[in-house]
Chains A and B, each alone.
Chain A
Amino acid sequence: MNHPDPKVLDDYVDGVLLMEEVLALEEHLEACAECRAAVQARQDFMDAVADGLTEHLQAQSPGPRSMRFAPIAQQIRHAAPPGRRLPGWTMRAVAAAAVVLFAAGAWTSQQFQQRAVTDGPTLFGAGAVSPATPPMEPLLPDGWQGTSSVPGEYTMGMVPGREGGKASAIASAVEAPTGFGALTQIVSAQNYQGQRLRLRAHLATVGVQGWAGLWMRVDGPGGEPLSFDNMQARPVVGSTGWTQHDVVLDVPPEAHAIAFGTLLAGSGAAWLDDIELTAVDQSVPTTDSLNAQRSLPQNPVNLDFEGQP
């Protein structure tokens, strides 16, 4: 006897088999106990999956105050045409954004400001920043490495600095990058062992639609991370003027290397300038996101339940 393909049985049980195939199959099933059992087993399995999913999901609901119509009602009442209003313009943001259109070169900050006033509102159009023309000399600064997690999505280069001179930058080179770009330097931890180290730097972002941040990592002798922060919990987004950020980590005595830099995820550009790596005292809190997750109390408390709430 010719048994039908398992795919045919699947389609039959799922109700998608074509009518003439259904008739042929049912003829076969009348005569074949083995295939009848296989069909029944598939039916039972599909019912089990459907029932199990339904039982699980229908018992779930959004939290009591988490999904409400009111904010939507408000937006309907105040509906503006899409794309007309742009959030939070500041003069510095406009000035920083203005640079996107200019090739790297001889613009003074005064000229930036003037351009910004006239060009500001037109720069962003419908809200998307075109990264197509990186506003930079495509150069990697001495001593730094540049990485694009998906090759070709990001470029590194030099841009006008915060107070004259130069700054380094990461910019997206495609419209919708799926990876991230990073600028990195790795040094020996020798000069910093046993100290609390602060990475202080200035970041400016241009139309960042994902996020940007500073990052630092302290590695042990086996290459394992001892402490780490990449500002993921306090990301920089959008277009900001130059702002200062700190990452503070302890460097244990056995530390071997320190890696640090800046990163950008998504489209836009992130500029980095005026970095300081300095030892600070214990009064400065660390921003370690690795060990934050592990900060459990050393000892149990209130084991006789007599303690005050």
Chain B
Amino acid sequence: MKDNVTAISNHQRLIARWKQGDTQVAQVLYDTHRDQAFRLALSLLDHQEDAEDVAQEALSHALLNPQRFDPAKGRFGTWLGGIVVRMCRSRRRAKRRRERLMFWTWGRSRSLTPSAETPEEATVRNQQHSQLWRAVQALPELHKEAVILRMWGGHTYQDIAQILQCPQRTAQSRVRLGLERLRLALGQDFKPEARRSEDLG
């Protein structure tokens, strides 16, 4: 109990020093949160380079704007998560618009593959990714975000509400509906498959 209290007040001091412009603390925050920010972006964008770009932009924006972080409203990681989610949404909107534009200027008779990948890359990617991953990627954006934050991130609904900027009840129902869709796609008896050597191509 005492350790927790010490840890919390250390963390608060760290944040206070960061807000005063301490670059070393900024580095600590960066190193601590870098990989998880990347993984969150990857889970939402399903693209390595895009996820690296967005995570780096989010960390950059967060660390360069300490005045925008209010410790009273929640933890740094939660605030950062919200920035990552918003940047991912924005990137997906831009990508969809490019795809619609491609479609329109290309000709309505054809359907498109996403511009970032060749068909060969898409095939390889699908073979390597588990059924679960593909089912999660197929979820509508709002459900996908909520399911990932709850099931992978293990966040409380209070945190998820802050990250997604929606009421807690809304976050709960998005998770529930997302899981329902996953149950339909994967089957109630789904178990995560162990990686078989055939799957690696």
Contact = CB atoms under 8 A, between A and B. Distances in A.
Contacts of B98: 232, 265
Contacts of A228: 105-107
Of A55, A57, A232, the most chain B CB neighbours within 10 A belong to: A57
B38 A76 contact: no
A75 interface: yes
B201 interface: no
B197 to A, nearest CB: 17
B38 A11 contact: no
B107 A62 contact: no
Given A50-B152, A53-B151, A179-B97, A62 B105 contact: no
Given A11-B176, A263-B101, A49 B30 contact: no
A48 interface: yes
Interface in A44-75: 45-46, 48-58, 60-63, 66-67, 69, 71-73, 75
Contacts of B100: 149, 179-180
Given A76-B26, A179-B100, A60 B38 contact: yes
Q: Chain B, interface size: which category?
A: 35 or more
Interface residues of A, number: 55
Given A10-B176, A217-B105, A178 B93 contact: yes
A122 B30 CA distance: 36
A179 to B, nearest CB: 7
Contacts of A73: 23, 26-27
Contacts of B106: 217, 225, 228, 230, 290
Interface in A263-309: 263, 265, 290, 293
21 contacts: A11-B172, A14-B150, A14-B175, A14-B176, A45-B182, A46-B179, A50-B154, A53-B133, A53-B148, A60-B39, A62-B35, A62-B51, A69-B31, A72-B60, A76-B26, A178-B97, A182-B105, A217-B107, A232-B98, A265-B97, A293-B118
Interface of A: 7, 10-11, 14, 16, 41, 45-46, 48-58, 60-63, 66-67, 69, 71-73, 75-77, 79, 147, 149, 178-180, 182, 210, 215, 217, 219, 222-225, 228, 230, 232, 259, 263, 265, 290, 293
Q: What 10 A-B pairs come out closest when comparing CB atoms?
A: A52-B192, A53-B152, A52-B132, A225-B107, A66-B52, A50-B151, A69-B30, A57-B39, A230-B105, A62-B38
